[in-house]
Amino acid sequence: MKRVAIFISGGGSNMVSLVDSMTGDHPARPVLVLANSADAGGLVKAAERNIATAVVDHRPFNGDREAFQAALQAELVKAAPDILCLAGFMRVLTASFVQKWQGRMLNIHPSLLPKYRGLHTHARALEAGDALHGCTVHEVTPELDDGPILGQATVPVRPGDTPDTLAARVLVQEHRLYPAVLHRFATGKREMIRLQG
């Protein structure tokens, strides 16, 4: 049975879809939900599901990423996960941390990578006039939003879409894609899967 830690920054809807999928004969179980802010709404949802939680607030570190990451690592050593899932975690992790977890750390990104690394992916897809958009689960490497792709889900861009309506349509697919990829990853499967929304 694989042990899974999940990092969040906000509401944690992806975390909830991962946690709720890890039941029955699933090859993994959640052991920690960590947030970089005590205000992250996902912490309450994790506690309601009896998952251990932790907060490592980045602000007191005043931009000292290595010190912030050392505090993250200390929580991970305590929880001893096999897999680390970034789920709406909005802090950029540096190479020194990523290399410790390389091959065992996943991230979900709301675009069809390699298109639109970084922020504001839905607005950029609309500006570009894309017909298709979506989300990607990838292994995390030191390069932001760049690692090997494990899964993608596509959605149509509809006339009149705004960044918010597009984000809502993509989020539904995120909640399907991430659990599907995690289940495979926990049994060593790394071939890319594609879902259509």
Residues marked active site are found at: 109
Amino acid at position 22, single letter: M
Q: Let me know: does 122 contact 110? Beta carbons within 8 Å.
A: yes
Does the protein bind ligand GRF through residue 172 (CB under 6 A)? Answer: no
62 CB contacts (<8 Å, ≥6 apart)? none
Dihedral sign for Cα 146, 152, 158, 160, please.
Answer: negative
When asked if residue 174 is in the footprint of ligand GRF (CB under 6 A), the reply is: yes
Supply the minimum distance, in Å, between the C-beta of residue 25 and ligand GRF. 25
Q: Which residue is nearest to ligand GRF (CB)?
A: 88
**Does 12 contact ligand GRF by CB under 6 A?**
yes
Interface stretch with ligand GRF, choices 5-13, 23-31, 75-83, 180-188 (CB under 6 A): 5-13
The residue assigned the tokens 């680390």 is: 84
Helices (H), the chain: 13-21, 42-48, 65-79, 95-101, 121-127, 163-185
Q: Is 21 in the site for ligand GRF (CB under 6 A)?
A: no
Distance, CA of 2 to CA of 164 (rounded, Å):
35
Q: Which residues contact 9 (CB under 8 A, 6 or more apart)?
A: 35, 36, 37, 40, 88, 89, 90, 91
Stretch that binds ligand GRF, among 3-11, 61-69, 141-149, 186-194 (CB under 6 A): 3-11
87 near ligand GRF, rule: CB under 6 A: yes
Per CB under 6 A, 108 contacts ligand GRF: yes
Total residues at interface with ligand GRF (CB under 6 A): 13
The verdict on 134 binding ligand GRF (CB under 6 A) reads: no
Q: Residues in the site for ligand GRF, rule: CB under 6 A? A: 8, 10-14, 87-88, 108-110, 171, 174
